[in-house]
Amino acid sequence: MGLCKISVALACLIGSALLVHTSFSYANQRIGDCNFVHSNGPYGENLAKGSGSFTGTKAVNLWVAEKPNYDYNSNSCVGGECGHYTQVVWRNSVSLGCGRAQCNNGWWFIICNYYPPGNYIGQRPY
């Protein structure tokens, strides 16, 4: 199953077993503190956390909801964060894997990895 970049009519991301494994492994490393700390791995990466029934779908929806903060003409964020959104829709990213782990405090930590990574300074996502 993949994630189609329908918000800007781009190609679908294809699920990757390697990226799923990498994501689950890192999510489980964060269960002690549930902090937003990037893995500094070779992939593009988005992090999210939430309580209750927080899912990967809800995390992706949060990231895509940053779209109004991205200004294509200036290739910059205006009025808030947009880097999660630009990674989701990055034109060269073709594969995706996400992991979810419940932290010791009861919250859910979610990480999605993208290959190849995006968000290169000076380049537009699409």
What pLDDT score was predicted for residue 11?
A: 75
* Domain assignment of residue 85, yes or no: yes
pLDDT along the chain (126 residues), means of 10: 57 94 98 97 98 96 97 96 97 97 98 98 96
Residue 87, exposed/middle/buried by CB under 10 A (0-12, 13-18, 19+)?
Answer: buried
Task: Give how far Cα 65 sits from Cα of 31, 45, 59, 89, 122, Å.
Answer: 26, 17, 10, 12, 22
Q: Give me the CATH number covering residue 95.
A: 3.40.33.10
Q: Residue 117 has which token pair?
A: 């990574």
Provide the Cα torsion 95, 70, 76, 20; round to 10°: -20
Indicate the number of domains in the chain. 1
**Would you state the pLDDT for residue 82?**
98
Residue 100 lies in a domain: yes
Residue 61 lies in a domain: yes
* Within-domain flag for 3: no
Q: What is the pLDDT of residue 79?
A: 87
